[in-house]
C-alpha cells in the first residue's frame, strides 16, 4: 500500500445552469454544462497508523469539523471497508462560496487518491454511491479529469462527458461577497413561483450551442438575476467583465464568482489588468 499521494483538484464553472423544480427526494433538477478551469486546490494525503480517523489540516482557511473531505472519508470507508487513518494537508486556492465547486472537487480527488492508496477499484456504481453521500457536484469531478467538460442533469448524478474546447481564455473575478447555496435555491424557487425563469437552451441543444461560436452562445444561469439583485456587486462585476471585452460572461453556480471568456490570450491579459486596476480580484483560469 502506498503511504502518501499528492493531487491537484480543479475548480469548475457552469457555462449554462438551468434550475428546475425539486424532485421527490428534495433535490432540484439541473440542466448544466460543467467545465473545469485552471485554478486548483492541492491535497497531500498520507496514510497513518491507527484506524477510522481523518485529520484535515488547512492553513489557508478555517474548515468546519464536518466538511466534504471528512464526509468523503466516511463514505469511502463505509462502502469499501477501508479503515486506515488518514491525514490530509489541504492548500486552498479555490475560494469557498464562489460557485466554483472547490469543496466538491477536493472530495472527489481525495476519493480518487484513497482508491489508489487502498488499492480499491471503484466501479461507476460504487463511485456514485460515495458521491451521493458527499455532494451533488462530486459526481462530475469523479467522472471528468482536467481538462474536462460535461453535460450534467438530475441532481448532478447524470454526467455525459463531452470534448472540451481548447479556444477559451478565461478570467475569474471575485466580487467580494459570499453567496449561500441554500439562500440561492430559495430565491430561485421564489422567482419561479412568480413566473420568472432563465431563458436557457434546451438540454438537447446544449452540446450544439457549446460547439458553436462563443459570441453566439445563448447560455444562461437561473441564479444570476436573483443573486445579482441580492448582491449588486455581482451584477456590477459581470458588467465590468463584459465592458473589458469578454465574448461571454456570467456567474458560476450559485455565485458569487464571475467568469469571462475572451477571444484570445492577449485580450484576456489586457482585460485582466483593466479589471485589477478597478480594484477587482481577478485570476486567469
Residues for the chain: how many in total?
Answer: 285
Binding residue per annotation — 32? Answer: no
101 labeled binding residue: yes
Q: What are phi and psi of 149, to 5 degrees?
A: -145, 145
Q: Is 97 flagged in the annotation as binding?
A: yes
70 is annotated as contributing to ligand binding: no
Name the catalytic one among 18, 41, 92, 137.
Answer: 137
Q: Does residue 69 have a known ligand-binding role?
A: no
Task: State the CB neighbour count (10 A cutoff) for residue 80.
Answer: 17
Cell of 94: 479555490
Phi/psi at 21 (nearest 5 deg)?
-60, 165
SS3 state at 143: helix
186 is known to lie in a ligand binding site: no
Centroid of chain to Cα 147: 13
For the chain, the C-alpha Rg in angstroms (whole number) is 19
Is 105 part of any known ligand binding site? yes
How far is Cα 16 from Cα 232, in angstroms, rounded to an integer? Answer: 21
137 is catalytic: yes
Q: Angle of helix 68-80 relative to helix 124-132, nearest 10 degrees?
A: 140
Between the alpha carbon of residue 260 and those of residues 140, 202, 247, the distances in Å are 22, 22, 7
**Quick check: 85 and 52 in contact, CB under 8 A?**
yes
Residue 253 assigned as binding residue: no
Q: Which of 61, 161, 65 is nearest to 102 (CA)?
A: 61
Q: In the annotation, is 269 catalytic?
A: no
Task: Confirm or deny that 100 is annotated as ligand binding.
Answer: yes
C-alpha cell at 188: 430561485
Beta-sheet strands, E only, within 23-76: 28-51, 54-57
What are the binding residues for ATP? 95-105
Residues with a known catalytic role: 12, 137
- Binding site as annotated, residues: 95-105
Amino acid at each position: 500500500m502506498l503511504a502518501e499521494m499528492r493531487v491537484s483538484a480543479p475548480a469548475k464553472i457552469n457555462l449554462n445552469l438551468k434550475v428546475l423544480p425539486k424532485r421527490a427526494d428534495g433535490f432540484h433538477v439541473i440542466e448544466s454544462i460543467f467545465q473545469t478551469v485552471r485554478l486548483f486546490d492541492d491535497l497531500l494525503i498520507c496514510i497513518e497508523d491507527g484506524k477510522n480517523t481523518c485529520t484535515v489540516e488547512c492553513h489557508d482557511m478555517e474548515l468546519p469539523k464536518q466538511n466534504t473531505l471528512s464526509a468523503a472519508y466516511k463514505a469511502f470507508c463505509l462502502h469499501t471497508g477501508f479503515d486506515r487513518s488518514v491525514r490530509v494537508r489541504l492548500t486552498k486556492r479555490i475560494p469557498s462560496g464562489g460557485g466554483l465547486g472547490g469543496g466538491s472537487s477536493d472530495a472527489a480527488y481525495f476519493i480518487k487518491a484513497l482508491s489508489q492508496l487502498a488499492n480499491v477499484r471503484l466501479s461507476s456504481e460504487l463511485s456514485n454511491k460515495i458521491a451521493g453521500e458527499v455532494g451533488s457536484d462530486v459526481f462530475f469531478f469523479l467522472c471528468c479529469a482536467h481538462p474536462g467538460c460535461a453535460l450534467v442533469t438530475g441532481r448532478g448524478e447524470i454526467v455525459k462527458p463531452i470534448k472540451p474546447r481548447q479556444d477559451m481564455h478565461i478570467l475569474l473575478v471575485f466580487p467580494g461577497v459570499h453567496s449561500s447555496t441554500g439562500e440561492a435555491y430559495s430565491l430561485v424557487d421564489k422567482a419561479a413561483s412568480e413566473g420568472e425563469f432563465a431563458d436557457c437552451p434546451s438540454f438537447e441543444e446544449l452540446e450544439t450551442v457549446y460547439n458553436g461560436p462563443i459570441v453566439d452562445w445563448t447560455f444562461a444561469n437561473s441564479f444570476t438575476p436573483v443573486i445579482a439583485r441580492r448582491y449588486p456587486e455581482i451584477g456590477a462585476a459581470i458588467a465590468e467583465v463584459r465592458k473589458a471585452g469578454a465574448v461571454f460572461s456570467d456567474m458560476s453556480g450559485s455565485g458569487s464568482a464571475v467568469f469571462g471568456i475572451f477571444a484570445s490570450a492577449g485580450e484576456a491579459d489586457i482585460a485582466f489588468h483593466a479589471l485589477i486596476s478597478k480594484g477587482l480580484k481577478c485570476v486567469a483560469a
